[in-house]
Structure 1
Amino acid sequence: MSELLLAVSGLVAGYGAAPVLHEVDLAVEAGTIVAVLGANGAGKSTLLRTISGLVRPAAGTISFDGADLRGVAVEQVVRRGLAHVPEGRGIVEELTVEENLRLGGLWRARDARRDVEEIYELFAPLAGRRRSAGHQLSGGERQLLAIGRALMAKPRLLLLDEPSLGLAPRITAQIMALLRHLRDDTGLAVLLVEQNVRSALSVADRGVVISLGKVVADADAAALRDDADLRHAYLGF
């Protein structure tokens, strides 16, 4: 059995007085990809934001590598080995590609140059754009940069929110292949929120389906693909 890396239990969270998540349970083992699926507004992004410390939970527990994450500052969550790439490809558009990457590893006392070159090996399109400003990049390049910047922190778990949003199918396929490579070759665990259900299930080990803030299914990715009733009811295909 793989090592349990993230354990979420009875999580209640939201914005203001109205909770978005209701008693959510979730587990991610080391070296696995878990896809979080569901309709828009189901609470998927809120789940990632709560795990990474951007939203304070009202109830429940969040344990990462055996330690409680509740109340831990966002920068300390990153230092513990958890990185979050939010929806929208949040990069600093005024900075160059290389400056964005260096920003991602700023707190780590390691050879930044070596770490940046490792990212360029993973993301070949960025290597030729290293001196380009963020606003000069295509949508796909911005997404690669956002992921690369998160990887500069050397996380054990990557929270990735809607990486394929607005991208061409070819770029989406490249990103999914990259996630598979990171899992298989580096042991990185990924908690993936993705509207492109087919793509997500093609790389995921497990899938968790959320509807109206509640977990309605948690199973092997293959089992979710084969469950026609569940797919029709919650996943739209």
Structure 2
Amino acid sequence: MSAPSTRTATGASLTIRELTVGYGGAPVLHDVSIGIRPGEIVALLGANGAGKTTLLRALLGLVPTTGGALALDGTDLSPLRTEERARRGLALVPDGQSVVAELTVDENLRLGALWRHRGAAREHAIRGIYELFEPLARRRGAEGHQLSGGERQMLALGRALVAEPRVIALDEPSLGLAPLVVAQIMATLRITAERRGLTVLLAEQNAKSALSIADRGVVLDLGRVVADAPASDLADDSALRHAYLGF
């Protein structure tokens, strides 16, 4: 895998302030506050049930919030529908790899580029994804269900990137993948973020892998932030790692 040579996006700041989210009256997130600078990669860590997925879904307006605020470059997101948030530069790659199984690799990418690009600009954007994920270029005519787990994850990420988001949120991109494939995807994500100035919020149970490419780490436990520090500091904190991160 190699990164495209041109920078095509500029990251945005993301502000999460005292966010509270609940289902059926039961709170899942409690007064969560996280500030993310443009171009920063933040690893969102914690065990199953910590609230990572709920936080990412709240960013895109997929679950209702009951308190607090979300802002993209200082613009309040609360009145905006999911599609409006996407048009302003937010993208989500959910767990389970959001690939349309009946469509080919090329068709999936064209679907991702549909509302952002037309004509030559769309072809240029898709070509950039093939340069970034070389295995996809070799499989462009294969349908989604014919891909390996690693190829599907590349395609899910490529579908998000082809629309040139400013902030991308990823939910467990390493789930079910072999360690070598995980390392390749993480390395490519880091290179892409640097080249494009992309802001990344990476929710992961594989804390060691996520921290290896992140600038900062935020640890959630039972819906609350229990640590927010540079990635290297979290990786070196053996007590915190054993208590919350499992390595």
TM bucket (normalised to shorter chain) is over 0.9
Q: Deviations over 1:20-62 (max 9, x none)?
A: 0000001111111000000111000000000111111111000
Partner of 2:105: 97
CA distance in 2, matches of 1:27, 1:21: 16
Contact 2:20/2:65, CA 8 A, preserved across alignment: yes
CA distance in 2, matches of 1:175, 1:233: 27
* Secondary structure of the structure 2 residue equivalent to 1:58: strand
Contact 1:4/1:27, CA 8 A, preserved across alignment: no
Q: Deviations over 1:178-200 (max 9, x none)?
A: 11101221111110001111110
Corresponding residue pairs, total: 235
Of all paired residues, the percent bearing the same amino acid is 60
Structure 1: where are the runs of 5+ without partners? Answer: none
1:166 maps to 2:184: no
Following superposition, which runs of at least 4 residues in structure 1 exceed 4 angstroms of deviation? none
What TM-score does the superposition give when structure 2 sets the normalisation length? 0.93
1:70 maps to 2:78: yes
Could you say which structure has the greater relative contact order, defined with CA pairs below 8 angstroms and 6 or more residues apart? Answer: 2
Partner of 1:33: 41
CA distance in 2, matches of 1:206, 1:105: 30
Report the Cα offset of residue 109 of structure 1. 3.8
Partner of 2:53: 45
Contact 1:56/1:71, CA 8 A, preserved across alignment: no
Aligned match of 1:88 in 83, 90, 96?
Answer: 96
Q: Deviations over 1:139-183 (max 9, x none)?
A: 000000000000011001110010000000000000110111012
CA distance in 2, matches of 1:24, 1:32: 18
CA distance in 1, matches of 2:85, 2:12: 17
Contact 1:31/1:189, CA 8 A, preserved across alignment: yes
1:227 maps to 2:207: no
Aligned match of 1:107 in 115, 129, 140?
Answer: 115
CA distance in 2, matches of 1:212, 1:88: 23
CA distance in 1, matches of 2:117, 2:174: 32
Contact 2:12/2:39, CA 8 A, preserved across alignment: no
CA distance in 2, matches of 1:200, 1:14: 27
CA distance in 2, matches of 1:130, 1:215: 41
Q: Deviations over 1:55-104 (max 9, x none)?
A: 11111000011111113111111110111000110111111111110111
CA distance in 2, matches of 1:4, 1:137: 32
Contact 1:35/1:204, CA 8 A, preserved across alignment: yes
Partner of 1:178: 188
Matched letter for residue 215 of structure 1: V
Contact 2:12/2:198, CA 8 A, preserved across alignment: no
Map 1:178-217 → 2, pairs under 5 A:
178-217=188-227
Q: State which drifts further: 173-182 or 102-111.
A: 102-111
Contact 1:34/1:192, CA 8 A, preserved across alignment: yes
CA distance in 2, matches of 1:154, 1:109: 10
CA distance in 1, matches of 2:177, 2:78: 34
Q: State which drifts further: 9-18 or 109-118.
A: 109-118
RMSD in angstroms over aligned alpha carbons?
Answer: 1.1
Q: 1:11 to 1:91 in 2, by over 3 A?
A: same
Map 1:125-164 → 2, pairs under 5 A:
125-164=135-174
Q: Deviations over 1:204-230 (max 9, x none)?
A: 000000000000000000110111111
